[in-house]
Structure 1
Amino acid sequence: MNRRIGKLCVTLLLCIGLTGCWDEVTIQDLYYFTAMGFSYDKQAKEYELYGQVIDVAAVAQKEEASSSKSNSVFGHEKGESPSIALDRLFKAMQMNPVLDHMMTVLLDESSIANLDELLDGINRNSAIRYTINVLGSENPIGDMFQTTGRISTSPLNTNIYQPNSNKRGLPFTTNNDMRDLVRAYKSCPCTVYIPKLKLNENHWVGNDGKRLRTPIFDGAFVLNNGSYAGKFTEKQLEGARWFMGSTHGQTITLKKRDRIASVLQVKRSSNDYHFGKSPTPSMKLKLRVRAILTEYDKNLAENEIQELATKEVIEQIESTLRLARSRGVDLFNFEGHIYRYHHARWKKMKSGKTNFAELPVELDVKVHLIHSGKMKMRKS
């Protein structure tokens, strides 16, 4: 018994000399990649990689929030493949690079055509998970990583890192992570939307008189049947947004005799597809929108507002349908729906080389005012 107690005492004494984790690395001794961007030079057949590195320790300190000090830098390198470019950039770094905190991948238009190779190169890295954001960029990637004049000095408080945070400025689709992209791109002949960012310097000015350059969402890059189909603006996609995108917080502007009559804000919407097989294949689109009044013309009755709003939404959908047919792009993902729910018929239509963007469409749209409080306020 005494021998056991002696051994225990010796062990405890030895533990005093231990200093904790022998392989501990301080946060300042690591380079944390938080975002990457890719561009492709078709002539040189090279990828250009951009990597943004953020000083995590500085961002985490509350006192830095009111400082003008920059907490991020970015670097770039070229290579015949994404992994070669990344390896070359790693070799040029002064401290150990870490990809465990990657949050976003930005793709410009030139790289979308090489999406297969990009996805393969990115997802083979075990540190990068399928929950990272995948976004498009209308501007050069380097410019996106040099956004200036942030209202909050943390570089993490932008649409690049938090795309779904501003409910009034949501991207075209809020299903914008790597998992959603791969599932839609690889598992079915679905239409894929990659939300597109562009730099905006038209709205905010700092105390120094300089305009703020901030990234905002405007439309999307579209892939159709596994191929890049082009970029589309927010205005061009407003009809497809009711079925393919996010609608919460969107406004419906009503006009009467070429002047604004009322403005509605969407609180929620629901949609449904119905595939008609005979006499010829066709689609029926059902949409129900619930909205509130934000601006009101006292000369309009509630039923008139609902009728005008329904007409406006129908015009938006019909406009995007015309655009889809003119460019041969299935912007409403009709093929994806038929593939999932009417597979046998899809195979027959596919073998007959059906252009799904040209299917006849019937619309069933209704807009309902949740409440008319502002109308009652004006009348009192």
Structure 2
Amino acid sequence: MKLIKYLCIILIPLLLVGCWDQVELNERDYVVSIGIDYIDEAVHFTYNLPNLPVVTGQGDGDEKSFIKVIEANTLYESNKIFGSRSKRKLNFDHAKVVIFGEGVLNNKTVFTKILDEFERNPHFARTVMVLAVEEEAEEMIELEIEGSNDMGMHLMGLYENNQYDVLKAAELTLGDLINSINERDGTVLIPRVKLEEDEPMIEGLGLVINYEFRDWLSREDVEKMSWVTGKGKGTSVVTSFEEGNEEEEVTIEITKMETSLKFDEKEGEFRISVDIITEADVKAYTLNPQYSLFEEENIRKLEDKTKNILEEETKDFITMIQDEYGIDLFNMLDQMAIKNRKLWIKHNENWDDVFAKANIEVEAKVDIRRIGVAK
């Protein structure tokens, strides 16, 4: 009996060797990133595939990756066309990035059709990162980056190596995209990638409302949004002891942040209180004996100035969102479900209308813990 058990243990690994679908590794085309554009009333799919023999050092040549562009009505049709032109089987197991061009985001019919395909397609992992570009995704996919084999891996690295950047908190996966679109009636914020001196960088967000592109939000907008959501660690505020004195600017970095929301309704007026509690460090300041940071009075002045900036800029940003978009981009409804269930039951069905008209007040508390570096 023991002999049979030992034989089974030895034979099982042998049975598992090889590809489950009987397609060898060198017979596959691995897609690392894919760009989707809508150009001249046609959908363009741009595939980025690594040249495995060159990347692994087992082949000759300079090309580390291949780019293929296919015009088709759907992703399914594009993949079929791709397969008819290649001797290898198309594979998305190692896909890292999907990039949407603005043309796709501007066309509700095309965008919803592609989203539906991604939702139904089992070959794309829900962890694939999603980005948007202001112009064409094809241009971004084709860009060659020194020291990087392909754009997909490079863009993944931008997120992984900048974990304290405020835009890290806005990272969007394919699963997040599908969930947000379904749960919020076609509203989603997609991180924007743009070229800066021929190098890609994550810069702001693309706002989609009702399945259609609405606007680009800047990095500054994202920072203010993070103050509302309590994810503003790593953001900064620039102030000075004397109003308008740029030569004596002081940079305050937020090292810890918590935001608490309170909901109330009286006499037909819906009110939201946004309480921002922060700890901060002075990162840079101009040495000035008149305003020595070793004096507690001057630290208190900086705290008050930083508090005022946080309150004023956050309030202005929320008001802008209410007036221009009329939609809750801060997921306040989720907080209300926890903080005030009674109001959530009353207003969850018409929340965006209530949010757009709500009286929202902001109060901040700033505690400067370290005085930073003098220059």
Unaligned stretches of 5+ in structure 1? 1-7, 9-17, 202-212
Could you tell me how far apart the structure 2 residues matched to 1:247 and 1:371 are?
Answer: 18
| TM-score using structure 1 length | 0.77
Equivalent pair of 2:229/2:259 in contact (CA under 8 Å): no
Aligned to 2:27: 29
Could you tell me how far apart the structure 2 residues matched to 1:110 and 1:355 are?
Answer: 32
Structure number with the higher helix fraction is 2
Aligned to 2:345: 344
Residues 253 and 167 (structure 1), Cα distance of their counterparts in 2 relative to 1, 3 Å cut? farther
- Cα displacement (A) at 1:111: 1.7
2:94 counterpart of 1:101: yes
Residues 96 and 191 (structure 1), Cα distance of their counterparts in 2 relative to 1, 3 Å cut? closer
- Cα displacement (A) at 1:38: 1.2
- Cα displacement (A) at 1:58: 4.2
| TM-score using structure 2 length | 0.78
Could you tell me how far apart the structure 2 residues matched to 1:27 and 1:329 are?
Answer: 51
Residues 277 and 194 (structure 1), Cα distance of their counterparts in 2 relative to 1, 3 Å cut? same
- Cα displacement (A) at 1:316: 2.4
Equivalent pair of 2:187/2:208 in contact (CA under 8 Å): yes
2:314 counterpart of 1:313: no
Unaligned stretches of 5+ in structure 2? 1-6, 8-14
Q: Partner amino acid for 2:252?
A: L
Residues 312 and 320 (structure 1), Cα distance of their counterparts in 2 relative to 1, 3 Å cut? same
2:179 aligns with one of 169, 177, 183:
183
Aligned to 2:81: 88
Q: How does 1:1-380 map to 2 (within 5 A)?
A: 21=18, 27-41=25-39, 44=41, 46-56=42-52, 58-59=54-55, 69-112=62-105, 113=108, 114-152=110-148, 155-160=151-156, 162-167=158-163, 169=165, 171=167, 173-188=169-184, 192-201=188-197, 213-224=198-209, 227-244=212-229, 246-255=231-240, 256-258=242-244, 259=246, 260-279=248-267, 280-297=269-286, 298=288, 299=291, 301-330=298-327, 331-335=329-333, 337-338=335-336, 341=341, 342-347=343-348, 349=350, 354=353, 356-372=355-371, 374=373
Q: CA RMSD in A?
A: 3.5
Aligned length: 343
- Cα displacement (A) at 1:195: 0.7
The percentage of counterpart residues that share the same residue type is: 16
The DSSP-based 3-state class of the residue aligned with 1:274 is: strand
Residues 108 and 245 (structure 1), Cα distance of their counterparts in 2 relative to 1, 3 Å cut? farther
Could you tell me how far apart the structure 2 residues matched to 1:68 and 1:360 are?
Answer: 64
